[in-house]
Structure 1
Amino acid sequence: MKYLKTCWICVVSISLFLLFWGGHVLKSDVPSFLPNIGLRGYVKINPDGRNQFLEMRCSACALVSSSGQMLGAGIGGEIDSTACVFRMNMAPTRGYEKDVGNRTTVRVVSHTSVPLLLRDQNYLLRSSLGTTYVFWGPERHMRQDGKGRVFNILLKIAREYTGVGIYAVTKERIQYCDQVFENQTGKNRMKTGSFLSTGFFTMILAMDMCESIHVYGMVDKNYCSRASNSVVPYHYFERRHVGECRTYRYHEHVRHGGHRFITEKAIYAQWAMRHRITFKHPSWSLAKD
């Protein structure tokens, strides 16, 4: 009897160990050899060369998609009432306040959008006090030895707009994001001939900063299959009408230079099962496949 009791205790102990170990593995987005350095993955672009990492935490965040799904949503007030508001690239608020709100706490910008930023700097930078800009790009453009073309432009902007917080995603953080993609999909991002989207980097940053995230205007991975005749534009602010689903399908299958938007949305659904992430306008069903 004593022997059976001892065996039972051993079985229970092993089961509990496996349960907790399994939970740890489930929550791990990347292998342990690549540490999650969080906000130390975002360094301020300082004209004086000082290393200064992003220090910002938010209880609740609104991540506003640039999708045409935002047109007619009428949720600008709801978005503006959130503690922190994330926007991407050059998505404007002026003229769209009723649908997308007016406040911008963080704007995540691709290296490819920097020329557009310079073109609209009077609107985006001169009126951006209180907004933090986070730029991402490959090392060849963001290197800090004088040969990084985009970094040099951002350094010049930082000198001119001293009241605007301008940060760069570090090389290590970009490598981390690549590893997250591979860990979630089983595919090497570079070997697939694709680039991570600004949305992907924004989601990672939001998870680093926010206790909870409300994503607005982003469709799920199956939306374009369900709504095969959708005429929703890719961006809510572009006059030239480019279909959202048409763009997603093209990028998902192009051999080189595309974003895997649909695959990324499948990853976001996985994250939402473990983090406090909700999707609105449209809402997502997060039942396990």
Structure 2
Amino acid sequence: MQPLKLHCEVCSIVSSSGQMLGREAGGAIDQSSCIWRMNNAPTRGFEKDVGHRTDLRVVSHTSVPLLIQKPQHFFGLQNETVYVVWGPLRNMRKDGKGIVYNMLQQAVENYPHARIYVTTEERMNYCDTVFKKETGKDRIQSGSYLSTGWFTLILAMDMCKDIRVYGMINDTYCKFEGNKKVPYHYYEAGSRDECAEYLLHESAPYGGHRFITEKAVFAKWAKTHPIKFFRPEWKLS
């Protein structure tokens, strides 16, 4: 397995949030040297808001089956996208018992052209360590799972000179009266409201993503790294 080597001047990270809808950010996003998306977020039908190209896709182990359902679309010859898949060792182990790793291996056999990378156990542990360092909480003891956004931003800080994040809300957005109600994913109309989903996860005793906590950490990173947030813009105090 070759390690992933990728360096970009300007990375546009496109959130899967319903905040993307109607923002018409597609033109600005398409001008970036690298466009990053998450999981199975589509562009077709949403180009005006989310742009056309996908250079890199960060994918959760739980979303891999969704890619496998449309292998020609995601891994076919027309697709130049680099995939970085993250997941716990139990799903990603290479001894034949890692269910997700096996799926990916099958995809590469069927589509030899596909560029698929998986995060190492060391990298997964590193992301946990960063969470503990930034929040004071042990991820496992606090019953939480890191989000794909967390892995994406950490990866981007390694690979991108300039980071532009589109469609991500900050940690106080859901507290404001009159915040814009949007679906959790822009491509799932009628899905649960984003803030409702965030609040549910933040307080889940086990198995939740700490989206709001993570956003507070991102705001902190944006003060020392070239990270900017658009549509909605973040006011960094």
Same fold (TM over 0.5): yes
- Superposed displacement of residue 229, structure 1: 5.4
Tell whether the 8 Å contact from 1:230 to 1:245 is kept in structure 2 after alignment. Answer: no
Residues 24-46 of structure 1 show CA distances to partners (whole Å, capped at 9, x for unaligned) of xxxxxxxxxxxxxxxxxxxxxxx
- Superposed displacement of residue 121, structure 1: 2.1
The correspondence for 1:260, drawn from 203, 206, 210, is 210
TM superposition score normalised by structure 2: 0.97
The correspondence for 1:191, drawn from 141, 150, 166, is 141
Paired residues for 1:1-289 under 5 Å: 51-126=1-76, 129-227=79-177, 230-287=180-237
Between the aligned partners of 2:207 and 2:78, the Cα distance in structure 1 is 31
> What RMSD in Å do the two structures reach over aligned CA positions?
1.1
Q: Which has the higher helix share?
A: 1
Tell me, what secondary structure is at the counterpart of 1:237?
coil
Tell whether the 8 Å contact from 2:73 to 2:79 is kept in structure 1 after alignment. Answer: no
Between the aligned partners of 1:58 and 1:102, the Cα distance in structure 2 is 18
Gaps of 5+ in 1: 1-50
- Superposed displacement of residue 54, structure 1: 0.3
Between the aligned partners of 2:143 and 2:107, the Cα distance in structure 1 is 32
- Superposed displacement of residue 150, structure 1: 0.7
- Superposed displacement of residue 127, structure 1: 5.9
Between the aligned partners of 1:248 and 1:66, the Cα distance in structure 2 is 14
Tell me, what secondary structure is at the counterpart of 1:275?
coil
Tell me, what secondary structure is at the counterpart of 1:285?
coil
- Change in CA separation of 1:127 and 1:233 when aligned onto 2, cut-off 3 Å: farther
Between the aligned partners of 1:72 and 1:78, the Cα distance in structure 2 is 14
List, as ranges, runs of 4+ consecutive aligned residues in structure 1 with deviation greater than 4 Å.
Answer: none
Percent identical pairs in the alignment equals 54
TM superposition score normalised by structure 1: 0.80
Between the aligned partners of 2:79 and 2:194, the Cα distance in structure 1 is 32
Between the aligned partners of 1:282 and 1:130, the Cα distance in structure 2 is 29
Greater alpha carbon shift after TM alignment, 213-222 vs 233-242: 233-242
Tell me, what secondary structure is at the counterpart of 1:112?
coil
